[in-house]
Structure 1
Amino acid sequence: MEQSSLVYGALVVLASVSASLYLALIFWSPPPIITHDSEKKYRSYKSPSAPRPLPSIHDPSTVDLTVVVPAFNEKERLPIMMEETVTHLDSLSPKRSYEILIVDDGSSDDTSKVALNLGAKYPKCDIRVVTLEKNVGKGGAVRHGMLYGGGERLLMVDADGASKFSDLEKLWKAMDEVAPNKKAGVAVGSRAHLVKSEAVVKRSVLRNILMYGLHTILRIVGVGHIRDTQCGFKLFSRSAAQQIFPAQHLPSWIFDVELLLLAKQLRIPAAEVPIDWHEVAGSKLNVVTASLQMLRDLLIVRANLLLGRWKATPVKPKSD
């Protein structure tokens, strides 16, 4: 009788702890990302005061490539990055049709104004500017650009210009291999080969310690197959974007991990491609605060995926 009471008591405690953890998961999970009506339209140098409607990721593609540039207070660095981007895309032969979608993530500076001016500087380019009503985080800005891009392939790239834009061709080639005939696929730009290089060795001891800690945690949560999850240079086929981004929940900087976990859940192949990269001054990331947020968000996304609270819906791949 006494043993039965102990077992019953243990079960009650276990149930209470499980319920508490589940409630904590619900409490800490981010709310759905809301898209306002004004954010479903874009401005350009041709139409700076009369916004035009954006396409949906579920519509047929209209160009070969959409370049999604999340930008928060990037009026200084954006012009430099855009010059490299446009120069490369316009140099290609044969030509590739493209659009550039700059998503101003609720900046407090003149990022949107600068972006519109860039449209005037490069009038032959389709440069579209979306201004979010408030800052939602890099993940939210990337998600928005991906959900409203018209490209058959969609590239996310940071506004700081840290990645060498011409390395897009390496990602493009990898995509041809993992996702031929418009199938679902992801090509991930990677800096893993630079770990022992001068670019990384010269980083602060704290940043490198946190980097190695992140890699360890990522192996635990299930993305150990990708050595560098955080590089802001990733290419998605339209089919992959249609499945992954509607299911994305994290707006914070660790959103890349959720994207890769969703791709893995959906059995979408992901190729990791070494690219050139260099440190750029002006980072807005507080490494200590971001690392604590990272740990919390990684646990949240993994728990939600395991419990089935968050899941992606596969779509039938298209072929020529």
Structure 2
Amino acid sequence: MDNSTLLYSGLGLVAATLGTAYTLLVLWSPDTIVPKPPEKTYRSPRKPSAKLPLPSVRDSPSVDLTVVIPAYNETARLPEMFSTTLAHLESTRTSQGRSYEVLVVDDGSRDGTADLALKLGAQYPQSDVRVVVLEKNVGKGGAVRHGMLHGRGRRLLMVDADGASRFEDLELLWKAMDEISPKGEAAVVVGSRAHLVKTEAVVKRSLLRNVLMYGLHTILRIVGVGHIRDTQCGFKLFSRRAAQQIFPHQHLATWIFDVELLLLAKELRMPVAEVPIEWHEVGGSKLNVFADSLQMLRDLLVLRANLLLGRWTVPRTTSPVENGSGKSK
């Protein structure tokens, strides 16, 4: 076999490999999540049987804070978390005049999570609790995205339903947001557990979860968010302008969606502050360490490849408008 034949064979192999990789990228890339009409409605403890239309994040804000709680089969963990959350929100409402809404996004639960959230909200007559039900489980990232696209707050907080983060630390995030976004500019503040790495809160976790944590940090430095020490903490505060610019362009609904949010913020040159918070592990996690680790790795590769190839882009605009499909126009 002469050199030219070898060359053509090599080029053919490279082309086939690239073609296969691109095909896999297309197949693995998730479609835009398009909400169904019933998912654009909410119920409240005041009228639990009535389904009312959700507003849009593109509307003018009408409360100071939206708290988005993604919840999937959370009847066991939600009561304590709800109690802590509403107690603090009511405290700041009376002491600081900070208005709020709590938006629970039931991610296709089968255990009555939505009905429980309505009952828990009814225990706080002055609260503004809204419950949205997704028809099927789309993943934590999809539930957070749905809530953020329909929040009314000047600032919007995502927080896990397990209550692992100390909700009172919202005030630390709030102060940091005041510093980097004094006039409501696009900005993100990330709650961080990085300072706990050598404490009992993390050391006593399972070996597999700690291996996953360190491995993930290494990969994140490669994909471009190594400047954030803890990307996965489910306690993040967004200015309204940041939510308007980030969430319409979020594609990932799986566990690694936080990384996409931070990459989008970086792409849009938004300031991002990282604030240490208190955290403790809560039983009942739905994370399957082995299977979800593989999925995280795949999704990180899909995310980075789509951004590098320009398949996923973010328009440089200060006031994106969401249409019915969840895309910007």
Give TM-score scaled by structure 2 length.
0.94
Runs of 4+ with deviation above 6 angstroms: none
2:43–2:130 contact (8 Å) kept in structure 1: yes
Of 131, 134, 137, 1:132 maps to: 134
Equivalents in 2 of 1:280, 1:207: separation in Å?
A: 14
1:116 aligned to 2:129? no
- Counterpart CA distance in 2 for 1:105 and 1:183 is 30
Shift of 1:5: 4.2
2:13 is paired with a residue of what secondary structure? Answer: helix
Supply the distance in 2 between the matched residues of 1:20 and 1:179 (Cα, whole angstroms): 45
| Identical columns (%) | 68
The Cα of 1:2 is off from its aligned counterpart by 4.5
Q: Give me the CA root mean square deviation.
A: 1.5
Instruction: Describe the SS at the equivalent of 1:69.
Output: strand
* Contact 2:245–2:318 (8 Å) recurs in 1: no
Equivalent residues of 2:44, 2:130 under 8 A apart: yes
Task: Please report the TM-score for the alignment, with normalisation by the length of structure 1.
Answer: 0.96
Q: How does 1:210-249 map to 2 (within 5 A)?
A: 210-249=212-251
Aligned residues: 318
CA deviation profile, 1:12-54 (whole Å, cap 9, x unmatched):
3222221111111001111221201001110001221111111
Unaligned runs of 5+ in 2: 321-329
1:269 to 258, 271, 283: 271
Aligned residue in 2 for 1:18? 18
SS at match of 2:221: helix
- 5+ long unaligned stretches in structure 1: none
| Paired residues of 2:192 and 2:275 also in contact (CA < 8 A) | yes
1:145 matched residue in structure 2: 147
Q: Any idea what SS the aligned residue of 1:23 has?
A: helix
Per the TM alignment, residue 65 of structure 1 is displaced from its structure 2 partner at its CA by 0.4
Aligned to 1:181: 183
- For 1:1-320, what aligned pairs fall within 5 Å after superposition? 2-92=2-92, 93-316=95-318
1:22 alignment partner AA: Y
How far apart in 2 are the matches of 1:181 and 1:317? 15
- 8 Å Cα contact 1:229/1:257 also seen in 2: yes
8 Å Cα contact 1:138/1:253 also seen in 2: yes
CA contact (8 A) 2:41 2:52 kept: yes
CA apart distance, 1:6: 3.6
Letter paired with 1:8: Y
